Structure 1
Amino acid sequence: METLISGRCDLHSVPDSYVLSANTRPGKDEVPFFESIPVIDLGINSIHDRPGVVSQILEAAREFGLFQLTNHGISAEQMEDTLRVAKEFFHLPMEEKGKYFSEDPKQSCRLYTSIEYRKEKVHFWRDALRHPCYPLEDHWHSWPEKPDWYREVIGRFSTEVRKLSLLLLGLIGEGLGLEHGFFNEGLTRVQLLALNHYPPCPDPSLTLGLPPHGDVNLITVLLQGKVPGLQFLREGSWLAVRPCPGALLVNIGHALEVISNGNVRTVEHRVVTDGQHERTTVGSFIHPAYDSQIEPARKLVNDRGGRPLYKSVTYKDFVSTYIVDTYEIKPFPERYALKRD
């Protein structure tokens, strides 16, 4: 537990174990905000222009791999409560939140720091609480009991954000021409929630909250507050994401890129720290079941006279390879790309 950043009060400089090499640290150069990230009005209560919304989502997923979503059906009050309870958890006394600390990645409800602290040569400026949340009744009893309203607020949010994620996947499938219900229970069986906490950092130029990566899953929906920190790579340059009031950020995952046969793409992104302010976010990750087959949808290959760009693989093996490639800094999912004539 002594490794938790949020539990240390003596950090007036960045410890050597968090200092990245010169070619991987963010440095002191200011990264500009990219003001052209699509902001899509979902109009959840009345999607009056469904083809238009589908077109916007598909274009954003193809061109950027991420977009911000407004009028998504989750109230401002619910989002504020979710961020508030997440912050309260990380500010709990060590003896309380430490009940959930574990260095075992297989632990169901787990508080940890960085990514895999004991395996890393360099650590990242983040504490995280991660747990499954679907089906809700199978998991909520393992969640933190403190703050008192944690289970109620996080349970309600996870249920609503799952509905939203499935709606988005349905709209993307519709735009790709896939059959209704393509993203069925098998491909969307697992939902993980991650509460990320990035305390103020003495020198943000030396370290990162999270290293450059793409999400392995199908789709990620991120609730972030007012403090920016997310950056994405575009044409070889890092660009910052300015949080849009009331919006949720949507990321396309590697698994969805493969299933779409490259029609939508994952974006490489990272998290920087802030010298003055803490940053807390809540991310919902939709994963296929481990025994699901990850491969280009046949309709996108057979019905269109095309060819698959990726090999077929079980999601279990897909994730295992992703973890190895992440540690060895190899491109992913290019490992599964088929050779072209």
Structure 2
Amino acid sequence: MEFHRVQTIASLSTDKETIPEEFIRPEKEQPAITTSHGPVPQIPTIDLNDPDEQNLVRLIVDASKEWGIFQIINHGVPSDLITKLQDVGKTFFELPQEEKEVYAKPHDSKSVEGYGSKLQKDPHEKKSWVDHLFHRIWPPSSINYKFWPKNPPSYREVNEEYGIYMREVVDKLFTTLSVGLGLEGQVLKEAAGGEEIEYMLKINYYPPCPRPDLTLGVVAHTDLSAITILVPNEVPGLQVFKDDHWIEAKYIPNALIIHIGDQIEILSNGKYKAVLHRTTVSKDKARMSWPVFLEPPGEFVVGPLPQLISKDNPPKFKTKKFKDYMYCKLNKLPQ
């Protein structure tokens, strides 16, 4: 079978004591220097099944304004399904390199879908210690199964089931965030693409790294999505920038980590904040995560909601097609 050769971290052989120069971050970004080790606040954890609706709205609104990130428990996704999602993803990344490269992102592709290690287009930029696989899991019209691994054989079934449960979580989050803005429950979801919102799954695989103090799995960024819903594994690494500190997210088994992304910040005209976050890596263990990015279709136009704009609160962001926003962000162009 013919496959597209990609350089990935998994295909890189490194010395046991060092890493290639292109992975070493400048000192102002190195985890050993910049991670906060003192007493720090914890990322909020919220019970999504809270019977007190007003309390749930208040907690999610506060977390989305102050942190841009929170963890949810009692979210309705079965714990055994989360385990299966992790198992099939881990099995794929443990396959021989040539088997993974069957799913490589095509060289000339304008989409991020496929297996690889690079997102931004900057040949002079430092590299990140991560391999990834991207593919959409919803809606059915946007799915391209050529990027879905056939090995392990249960991969498709598990991801399709996960997509079904995700939709319920997504609807509850959008509804709660809408109500928190004083709007009808469906407003934010409709403004982010409605039933056409694309669920882009990414599996991040961060192999063990001989010098985790010098490099990053993913550099500091906000997500270009509306919302990101992330499953981590038990290896810590997700860090959030809050009050001038990099704070590590506590691992809570079966919790989902919710990131407010750029599109919700835009739609709310800055009331909700997209979270600045990054990922560190481990010396001894592979870290993995499974974010689902909720993205408007490419042609869909997103801007501050008119209901939130007034003479005293003018628009803080431009209104533009999502594909144009994404192009500017990935190519580091001004919005």
With normalisation by structure 2, the TM-score equals: 0.89
- Decide which moves more: 131-140 or 145-154: 131-140
2:166, 2:20 → 1: CA distance? Answer: 37
Structure 1 residue 151 displacement after superposition: 0.5
Aligned partners of 1:29, 1:119: CA distance in 2, in Å? Answer: 25
For residue 325 of structure 2, what is the aligned residue in structure 1?
318
Partner of 1:224: 232
Aligned position for 1:110: 114
Cα distance, 1:307 vs. partner?
A: 2.5
The one of 131, 137, 153 equivalent to 1:133 is 137
Match of 2:23 in 1: 18
Percent identity (aligned): 29
Please state whether the residue corresponding to 1:133 is helix, strand or coil. Answer: strand
Closer, same or farther in 2 for the Cα pair 1:300/1:117, shift >3 Å?
closer
1:94 maps to 2:97: yes
Shift, 1:222, TM fit: 0.4
C-alpha deviation, 1:107, in angstroms: 5.0
Q: Which residue in the other structure is 1:283 paired with?
A: 291
- Output the CA distance in 2 between the equivalents of 1:25 and 1:36: 22
- Cα deviations across residues 214-233 of structure 1 (Å, max 9, x unaligned)? 00110000000111101111
Matched letter for residue 249 of structure 1: I
Map of 1:213 onto structure 2 = 221
Counterparts of 1:287-298 in structure 2, within 5 Å, are: 287-298=295-306
Letter of the 2:114 partner, please give it: R
Does the CA-based 8 Å contact 2:35-2:245 persist in structure 1?
no
How big is each residue's C-alpha offset from its partner over 1:5-62, in whole Å with a ceiling of 9 and x where there is no partner?
Answer: 223454422112212223333235653374421100011xxx5211110111011000
- Give the drift of 1:243: 1.2
Deviations 1:257-279 (A, max 9, x none): 01001110011110011111111
In structure 1, distance between residues paired with 2:43 and 2:122: 36
Alpha-carbon distance between aligned partners in 2 of 1:24 and 1:169, rounded to the nearest angstrom: 33
Q: Tell me which amino acid in the other structure corresponds to 1:173.
A: S
In the alignment, is the contact (CA less than 8 A) between 2:130 and 2:217 conserved in 1? yes
Contact 2:238-2:280 at 8 Å conserved across structures: yes
Over 6 Å off, 4+ runs: none
Pairwise CA distance, 1:147: 0.9
| Residue 36 of structure 1: aligned partner | 42
- On the 8 A contact 1:136/1:155 being kept in 2, the answer is no
The offset of 1:2, in angstroms, is 5.9
Give secondary structure in 2 for the equivalent of 1:131: strand
Deviation at 1:163, TM superposition (A): 2.6
- Contact conserved, 1:210 with 1:270, CA < 8 A, in 2? yes
Contact 1:34 / 1:242 at 8 angstroms: preserved in 2? no
CA distance in 2, matches of 1:109, 1:86: 15
- 1:262-316 deviation digits (Å, cap 9, x = unpaired): 11001111001111111111010001122222211111124x9632222222222
Deviation at 1:137, TM superposition (A): 6.3
Aligned Cα root-mean-square deviation (Å): 2.3
Q: What secondary structure sits across from 2:32 in the alignment?
A: coil
**Is the counterpart of residue 156 in structure 1 residue 161 in structure 2?**
yes
Structure-1 separation of matches of 2:112 and 2:283: 32
Q: What amino acid maps onto 1:281 in structure 2?
A: S
Q: Which moved more, 1:9-18 or 1:111-120?
A: 111-120
* 2:7/2:117 contact within 8 Å kept: yes
Matched with 1:70 is 73
| CA displacement 1:36-90 (0-9 Å, x = unmatched) | 21100011xxx52111101110110001000000000011111111111111100
Aligned length: 324
Match of residue 60 from structure 1? 63
For the Cα contact (< 8 Å) 2:300–2:321, is it kept in 1?
A: yes
SS in 2 for 1:206: coil
Q: TM-score scaled by structure 1?
A: 0.88
